[in-house]
Structure 1
């Protein structure tokens, strides 16, 4: 059931209350509802599709009649049409967290990211050192969530063939083909499957896009199809202020019993009760904020907010700490293609391809290729950056035919990033809980990260010096005349953070004072409270994040069902 705002007809008690309808919340809600539980999903943002009230319509699909007349049968917003991901990312509603661009819409960042679907390596998950979360334990959940669409991988035992999320490559652009040729000439092997453990070579990214050319997000594939179930309710435009706990007389462990939710547009606050569990899926920036507002966090830190947070229910010093992210430098090149580029230059034919079969550039993210960048020409079989090529310049235009070459650091050096509460305690209680948290995130406090990205830029230039790119592409920004030191300064001033935030409520052993959740994702020190999003990741994977978050959520759903129904 979908309800756009709080009203008298909404029931107040559910088996599970899930905070957030992003990728992890969508998956867990769907699985629990399928298991027969009553589930309430609370989403602070608005709808991402036409059926949920969004009117950012950018395309339709339908049928072409014998007389040449086109009849639309489906309407799609910019959150659903892959080519418009940059529009949804740059102009869609985001949380008001300075320094971040986290989507505030149903589906969360899973409905505005670039759709690159990339797992971490086995070493990443084994390195978490948490029982039940090594690579062998994660693989079944990657497989469960996925349907691989690439014919060469049709028999692969490392990929799923019947999961909700459609995944495949989309080779279409002249830049991509030229880049692959230059990589091969430069000595980089072709990597036919970017989801394998080999972090080397060039190839085509896999994207979560379905055969009809529509974004295949967890919200679209897990939660949205279930909104007609009577035991599943989605409320949009609802902020969770805090989680409420009860203290049993005969048990010293507090129990998460309900949440206080607030509709900003009406000013109405409502308490919803969870009979089994409250489940946090608000993302790595909002989940720690809600924990701290609720009295779960470092007791000495929370003491400074005692007028608004009078009780500490679990003294977990790791809440909000261990914040991690990837970051990248987007370099600009001129590019003189020898053939036509399938871009906006001919929108009629491209729109027609999409409208009648999901084809054309609209059914792609607008880019296709990448490479695992070695530190230098003599290194083999190792990488430290991932590279991608975008047609044009993200969010702007150039007076010349251009492309962007992104260099993204794979594993940033350890640091002390964190997220903390807003500092204004003079606000009313509601406004205090609503105020944005503050990021303490300095991308380049460690010189090693600057040096890594500089090496990546130098390696891209080496690759591009081989044919055919050497005759078609020229670096514009940063200019090729910069010294290594000057290039380092450019990296510091021009790089941007991804939205791969993670680690702020990390998973670990119960004797680890910095761990926030145990191996079953239960918040340590309280009962009936669990976290299922990227907050729980101990160390950021050597990959993009979405595939890992999806696998975590699938595993989390199994853990919840096992614990509550076994």
Structure 2
């Protein structure tokens, strides 16, 4: 089957990109998704419930990747990625804070300044709480905030305000001229009436009946076929076995891990690592060499749980780049939805939103079934460790006697990005250009969190959805 555009991955960026491109009736768009669609009632139940995270051991909608969080000592963890139409946006906690204007302006990337991206943030959302020039009112993703807190969220907000932090009315209300001050505020959520309104359901599902759009689920891309310096198709394995697809334009939207892995399997990556794995080099590019994520320390507390509401309703942002998160339940409750385990308590997360540490995603084998090696290397920057320690002390002060134990545990916010960063023509660290085109390979783009040149100062989901909307103008 031949298409004008073939998109690998129906996640937060790919779903939006597919809807945007297929709106042109003359453009034949094929989307290949490794996970299932929502036609299965069991899948739909998992991804629609916005009050829990469907990432437990029984989940059929995630893929797990081992990682090493720190090197001395080694601390190991699992990264969960959505493996379903909608991607990780179909399984996350609904947090929809935008990146800050200073993030985008700081990239100094043509076409990606705050003035360039704001119209796309507006286009993707309908904010039911705020209007005006900073908020959309016609987009398919419904954004709203919890207005009355109880349980642990109320306790945390009261403690933060008593400690001198101001209440921030709108965490998506920052502008270059009026940046948000430190403070506590309600999280903008893409949860409507308890239902998660992710890009898969908001964008891709309404477009499924278009004659020019084909979505292949349960079909995993194993390699990109590159001939004479041009991407011409992909090798897949679907329900009926192997299948080859061709296209004039190929876009990787498989996420920061999936897209980087596919690039390297296909010969696009660091020459030395590809040679070691026995993969012929097509383009020597620094794929996976400087990934970024938000390191997070976790402290358990014995606050009263908040029932029937999202896992995270409010956050405190400090002037030194920390985000303090009062999670409303223990991890088990957030995953299973069951809140009857007396040992499964709320906890506080302390996340560093502008980390200096950089990790790696490396090719382990030429076999597509062998997972890449992921190393976060969170402890490589002493300043990061010190900042997390200071954040943990602040969290203890806010929680007071409610903190259970003195030691915080290393964790991760699961926000991995930057494995194929965009950059200017003279940037040796860049894998794609400002239009998301892979350097040295014609007909190939990457459109997902892989291309973020620096990790945003907020969780990246809203930024990645915006990215899909913005990049539709570039895949031509």
Unaligned runs of 5+ in 1: 1-11, 57-75, 248-253, 344-360, 374-381, 426-431, 466-472, 480-489
Task: For residue 400 of structure 1, report the CA deviation from its aligned partner.
Answer: 6.6
User: Are positions 1:286 and 2:258 aligned together?
Assistant: yes
In the TM superposition, 1:222-237 aligns within 5 A as: 222-237=203-218
* Alpha-carbon distance in 1 for matches of 2:57, 2:467: 27
1:202 maps to which residue? 184
* Alpha-carbon distance in 2 for matches of 1:555, 1:367: 28
User: Are positions 1:136 and 2:105 aligned together?
Assistant: no
User: Are positions 1:274 and 2:219 aligned together?
Assistant: no
User: Are positions 1:188 and 2:165 aligned together?
Assistant: yes
User: Are positions 1:388 and 2:339 aligned together?
Assistant: no
* Alpha-carbon distance in 1 for matches of 2:107, 2:206: 34
Task: For residue 90 of structure 1, report the CA deviation from its aligned partner.
Answer: 6.1
User: Is the 2:49–2:196 Cα contact (8 Å) retained in structure 1?
Assistant: yes
User: Is the 1:46–1:54 Cα contact (8 Å) retained in structure 2?
Assistant: no
User: Are positions 1:221 and 2:215 aligned together?
Assistant: no
User: Are positions 1:127 and 2:106 aligned together?
Assistant: yes
User: Is the 1:117–1:205 Cα contact (8 Å) retained in structure 2?
Assistant: yes
1:38 maps to which residue? 28
Q: 1:109 to 1:508 in 2, by over 3 A?
A: same
Q: 1:218 to 1:199 in 2, by over 3 A?
A: farther
Instruction: Write out per-residue CA displacement over residues 373-428 of structure 1, whole angstroms, 9 at most, x where no aligned residue.
Output: 3xxxxxxxx2321112123311167637942111111111233x1111123x6xxx
The structure with the larger Rg is 1
1:83 maps to which residue? 51
1:459 maps to which residue? 394
In the TM superposition, 1:495-510 aligns within 5 A as: 495-510=410-425
Task: For residue 26 of structure 1, report the CA deviation from its aligned partner.
Answer: 0.2
Task: For residue 206 of structure 1, report the CA deviation from its aligned partner.
Answer: 0.9
Q: 1:89 to 1:116 in 2, by over 3 A?
A: farther
2:372 maps to which residue? 437
* Alpha-carbon distance in 2 for matches of 1:457, 1:220: 37
Instruction: Write out per-residue CA displacement over residues 83-135 of structure 1, whole angstroms, 9 at most, x where no aligned residue.
Output: 12x23466424324213211222211101111111112222111212111112
Q: 1:401 to 1:532 in 2, by over 3 A?
A: closer
User: Is the 2:301–2:399 Cα contact (8 Å) retained in structure 1?
Assistant: no
SS at match of 1:284: helix
User: Is the 1:245–1:257 Cα contact (8 Å) retained in structure 2?
Assistant: yes
Counterpart pick for 1:328 among 296, 306, 312: 296
* Alpha-carbon distance in 2 for matches of 1:107, 1:302: 31
* Alpha-carbon distance in 2 for matches of 1:401, 1:517: 44
- State TM-score, norm by structure 2: 0.90
SS at match of 2:234: strand
* Alpha-carbon distance in 2 for matches of 1:89, 1:127: 37
Task: For residue 54 of structure 1, report the CA deviation from its aligned partner.
Answer: 4.2
* Alpha-carbon distance in 2 for matches of 1:293, 1:127: 32
User: Is the 2:330–2:347 Cα contact (8 Å) retained in structure 1?
Assistant: yes
User: Are positions 1:179 and 2:156 aligned together?
Assistant: yes
Query: Aligned-residue CA RMSD in angstroms?
Result: 2.0
SS at match of 2:54: helix
User: Is the 2:315–2:323 Cα contact (8 Å) retained in structure 1?
Assistant: yes
2:75 maps to which residue? none
1:245 maps to which residue? 226
Task: For residue 367 of structure 1, report the CA deviation from its aligned partner.
Answer: 3.6
2:336 maps to which residue? none
2:310 maps to which residue? 365
In the TM superposition, 1:346-425 aligns within 5 A as: 361=308, 364-373=309-318, 382-395=319-332, 399=342, 402-415=345-358, 417-423=359-365
Q: 1:105 to 1:400 in 2, by over 3 A?
A: closer
* Alpha-carbon distance in 1 for matches of 2:296, 2:57: 16
User: Is the 1:92–1:103 Cα contact (8 Å) retained in structure 2?
Assistant: no
Larger deviation, residues 513-522 vs 399-408: 399-408
User: Is the 1:334–1:401 Cα contact (8 Å) retained in structure 2?
Assistant: no
Instruction: Write out per-residue CA displacement over residues 223-242 of structure 1, whole angstroms, 9 at most, x where no aligned residue.
Output: 01111112111111111111
* Alpha-carbon distance in 2 for matches of 1:342, 1:441: 32
